[in-house]
Amino acid sequence: MKFLEFTMFLVPFLIFVTHHLGNAEFVNFNENFNVSYGQDHFTTLNRGSIVQLSLDNTSGCGIISKKSYNSGFFEMLIKLPPQRSPGVLTSKTRRHGENHGEIDFEFLGTDGDPFKLQTNIFANDSGGREQRLRLWFDPTKDFHKYAILWNQFQIVLFVDDKPIRVHKKNNRFGVRYPTMPMFLEGTIWNGDNWASGKRKIDWSKAPFQLQYQGFQINGCESRNKNCYSNTFWWNKREYWDLTPHQKTSLQQVRKNYMYYDYCSDRKRFKSECNIK
């Protein structure tokens, strides 16, 4: 039940988001990211403003931020490969090593149905918090904005500025909450092994090219000992909770587009899903 049958290739991607209201400062890719693997499947377009990662039957490709962060607002624009092949693209923030944490955007490929987006949150090595929704647009046609807000009180995932998911910290109910340093990571890879999918990638349609641009990183670097300080705008009171407008918007998204929520798996996640 963990993964959809469409799962085929993955693009884990780390998103660091920045303030969508304020000065949109795009960070320089080369200064902020490394290519983590598949260097020969990596290229830049449009005078360096677009970063392209390819997947074919020889390799995928990945990028990783040079720095790690402990809070922030991270945003980037993503355009999925145009081919209609079963597949998975993932965007994720991730930490390596012990007490592993992740905040993931994963794009599940399609043959023609609406594209599906899966999100997941890992804290202290424990994941299984999948939510899945049908996207209300075609993510292969244009760049769309994917963002993560992460402070001491909540993690919010946004698509085109609409909140699609909130994970609240709540010690009383023992909700697991990521606190360890995270890197931003983006990859496209063959998820055949990972997936329980019956359907394989259609390699005759390769290469699958995933594009990123508009990297915005408003993050507190992990070496800073006070990443919850409210001198960082994303830690301020107004970001401890969704605004009433955002709450309404989130309810609409959940009602109209969400088709799986781990919280329905009550036995497993009783304590953390009882909170509202």
Ligand X SMILES: *[C@@H]1O[C@H](CO)[C@@H](O)[C@H](O)[C@H]1NC(C)=O
Pairing of strands 69-79, 88-94: unpaired
> Which residues in 197-216 contact ligand X (CB under 6 A)?
203
User: Which residue of the set 75, 106, 130, 272 is catalytic?
Assistant: 106
Choosing from 2, 5, 30, 66, the residue that interacts with ligand X (CB under 6 A) is 66
Does the active-site annotation cover 272?
A: no
Whether 72 and 136 have beta carbons less than 8 Å apart is answered as no
Round to whole Å and give the CA distance between 185 and 215.
12
Round to whole Å and give the CA distance between 31 and 67.
10
Does the active-site annotation cover 98?
A: no
Task: Burial-class residue 62 by CB neighbours within 10 Å (0-12, 13-18, 19+).
Answer: buried
Q: In which region does residue 180 sit, left (phi positive, over 0), alpha (psi from -120 to 50) or beta (all else)? A: beta
- At residue 81, φ and ψ (nearest 5 deg) are -60, 140
Round to whole Å and give the CA distance between 173 and 214.
37
Minimum gap (Å) between residue 148 Cβ and ligand X: 18
Of residues 139 and 178, the one with the C-beta less far from ligand X: 178
Of residues 16 and 158, the one with the C-beta less far from ligand X: 16
User: Which residue of the set 25, 75, 102, 272 is catalytic?
Assistant: 102
Half-sphere exposure of 36 toward its Cβ, with a 13 Å CA cutoff? 19
Minimum gap (Å) between residue 49 Cβ and ligand X: 21
Binding mask 231-250 for ligand X (x = CB under 6 A): --------------------
Binding mask 156-195 for ligand X (x = CB under 6 A): ---------------------------x------------
One-letter amino acid for residue 138 of the chain: D
Binding mask 30-49 for ligand X (x = CB under 6 A): ----x---------------
Whether 234 and 73 have beta carbons less than 8 Å apart is answered as yes
Choosing from 64, 108, 156, 220, the residue that interacts with ligand X (CB under 6 A) is 64
Residues 6+ apart with CB under 8 A from 200: 8, 86, 192
Minimum gap (Å) between residue 163 Cβ and ligand X: 26
Task: Burial-class residue 59 by CB neighbours within 10 Å (0-12, 13-18, 19+).
Answer: middle
For residue 137, state whether it binds ligand X (rule: CB under 6 A).
no
Instruction: Give the residue from 200, 210, 203 showing the smallest Cα distance to 54.
Output: 210
Of residues 57 and 229, the one with the C-beta less far from ligand X: 57
Minimum gap (Å) between residue 72 Cβ and ligand X: 16
Choosing from 124, 140, 170, 249, the residue that interacts with ligand X (CB under 6 A) is 124
Choosing from 30, 46, 57, 229, the residue that interacts with ligand X (CB under 6 A) is 57
Interface contacts to ligand X, rule CB under 6 A = 34, 57, 64, 66, 124, 183, 203
Enumerate the active-site residues: 102, 106
